[in-house]
Amino acid sequence: MNGTRAVIAGIGHTEFSQNSGRSTLQLAAEASRDAIRDAGFSPTEVDGTVTFSMDTNDELALIRTIGVPMLRFCARTRGGGGGASATVQLAAAAVESGQADAVLVYRAFNERSAHRFGQPVQANPDPAWNWASPFSLNTPAKVYSLTFQRYMYEFGLTNEDFGRYTVVARDWASTNPNAQFYERPITLEDHQDSRWIVEPILRKLDCCLESDGGVALLITSAKRAADHGADAVPILASSAIQLEGGHEMFAYYHEDLCEYPEGRVLGQQLYNRAGITADDIDVAMIYENFSPIVFLQLEAFGFCGRGEASDFIKDGHIGRGGSLPVNTNGGLLGEGYIHGMNNIVEGVRQLRGTSANQISGAEHVLVSAGRSGIILGR
Amino acid sequence: MTTVRPPIFDFDDAFFWEGAREHKLLIQRCGDCGILRHPPTPLCATCGSTNNQATESSGDGTILTWIISQHPTEPDAEPRIVILVQLDEGTRIVSNLIDVEPTHDQTLNDKRVVVCFVDYDGTILPQFRLAGSQP
Ligand SMILES: [Zn+2]
């Protein structure tokens, strides 16, 4: 392998919980410390950071806490969870261009016990909310449901179809000790018994698991990782796609409401850059704030055709023994919602051979946050 | 009684909300190349002009997609039908459908609608009714 290629050399995370009982800075610091150690690095060797623009942990507070003496590269992603995989893109770009030698990626929050994203907006966080909140479109569940409804209408789906995804996610989570729903699988009946959030589109069990926790990654070059004895996973491709007319939340102005155009273009970019096709992906980690977004992404990335995701899931492709295991940690519905970053950790584990739900022979893993993504591979 | 969170508007969209106060559904129109755009922007992406004008919409459109908005833990809050309307002029707008029972056992996709204006405690919003229904 090319020694200058960027790799994920270390992973770290706290427990995922409903109430961490400590500051977000402590969560970020614990995860960061563990990622640096996992890579075999010292904090004094870290010279770059990347986090979310939404993250409340200041870089200077973090480096003082964990003992990093100097940074020469700091970057933050745009948007919310859609930028989860863009953290890796930015870090890899810094490493491969020589702007930094070892970049710490971190994300930490008390998203359940403190500020909950799922609650109604109190003030317009950006002017785009003017075209939603006065009309009672004031929670992420409602905002996304307005596009999901057209998808259901067009392809004749019901909430039960979405429930089949949740059942699979909870099955994976049930055998993952890190998952908040460890040893708690559900049936489709359990899903159908959970209360409506947006009837008849989303039930409670279609929504991600608001969580407290922190995740960190240490990204460096293949050569440096090898010098430190890290079990490094190469980043074969990374990309983040924004399209004119698109919006993180309000995907109402693209021509076709039944597709995820950012995901479609992202998939093409990633496959081209990695020199592979959808058929070569062994495990897909797919960001899901709500279960229907998995359907749109399965179609956008070419794992099945337009409107076919429901049958693809019904036919068992994404579960145990399936042709494309999806979200083998339980995903954001089953393991926890650390803004998508925990899905990157699982992608690394699948390629290291250390996942709780190891897919034997996994060589290529797609980690998609919808509008940003990476392909990891051996 | 429906309570509405008022828009917090600024330079770029003040014309829209002022138009609503006069019961006009305005669509931003480039004063140079004539292209329509919504939500509004301060500069025309097609020709670069800042000559931002507005044109009054016919108010006729088609429902692309819809949900019933009712907060699950606030059952007393008034449910509202939220719609995404494709206006005949070609732009899209999020609004509400009024004078229709907020029930799930109906199909509203692709139904024709027409604009009207409702004063919610001082906030005047463009709303829609099914075409052909009497105010
Ligand atoms: Zn123009």
Enter the ipTM.
0.96
A51 in helix, strand or coil? strand
Strand A48-52 to strand A73-77: parallel, antiparallel, or no bridges (unpaired)?
parallel
- The residues that bridge with B124 in the sheet, in sequence order, are B119
Q: CA A106, CA A102: separation in Å to the nearest integer?
A: 13
3-class state of residue A364 by DSSP: strand
Give the tens place of pLDDT for each residue, A210-234. Answer: 999 999 999 999 999 999 999 999 9
Partner residue opposite B82 with nearest CB, options A123, A124, A146: A146
| Sequence ranges of the domains in chain A | 6-114+209-377
- A145 and B94 in contact by Cβ < 8 A? no
Is the separation of the CB atoms in B104 and A149 below 8 Å? no
3-class state of residue B94 by DSSP: strand
Cα A47 from chain centroid (whole Å): 25
B58/chain A closest Cα distance in angstroms:
19
Q: Which domains are present in chain B? A: 9-56 (no CATH), 58-135 (2.40.50.840)
Residue of A nearest to B126 (CA): A135
pLDDT for residue A115: 83
With beta carbons under 8 A apart, name residues in chain A contacting B81: none
Looking at the partner chain, which of B6, B94, B104 has a beta carbon nearest the beta carbon of A131?
B94
Q: Where are the alpha helices (DSSP H) in B81-124?
A: none
pTM equals: 0.96
Q: Which residues of A touch B96 (CB under 8 A)?
A: 135-136
Interaxial angle between packed helices A292-300 and A159-174, expressed in degrees from 0 to 180 and rounded to the nearest 10: 90
pLDDT for residue A247 is more than 90? no
pLDDT, position A210: 92
- In the prediction, which pLDDT does A124 show? 66
Q: Which amino acid is at A338?
A: I
In this predicted structure, what is the pLDDT of residue A11?
98
Distance from CA of A255 to the nearest CA of B (A): 10
What SS3 class is residue B17? helix
Q: Are A372 and A239 in contact (CB under 8 A)?
A: yes
Calculate the alpha carbon distances from B93 to A36, A152, A340, B33, B54 in Å: 48, 20, 30, 22, 15
CATH topology of domain A6-114+209-377: Peroxisomal Thiolase; Chain A, domain 1 (3.40.47)
Mind listing the pLDDT tens digit for each residue in A146-162?
Answer: 999 999 999 999 999 99
How far does Cα A244 stand from its chain's mean position? 23
Closest alpha carbon within chain A to B91: A253
| d(CA A147, ligand 1 centre) in Å | 29
Per residue in B5-57, pLDDT tens? 899 888 999 999 999 999 999 999 999 999 999 999 999 999 999 999 999 99
| Average of per-residue pLDDT across A241-253 | 89
Tell me, what's the pLDDT at A125? 67
Local structure of A13: helix, strand or coil: strand
Would you call A33 exposed, middle or buried from its count of C-beta atoms within 10 A (0-12, 13-18, 19+)?
A: middle
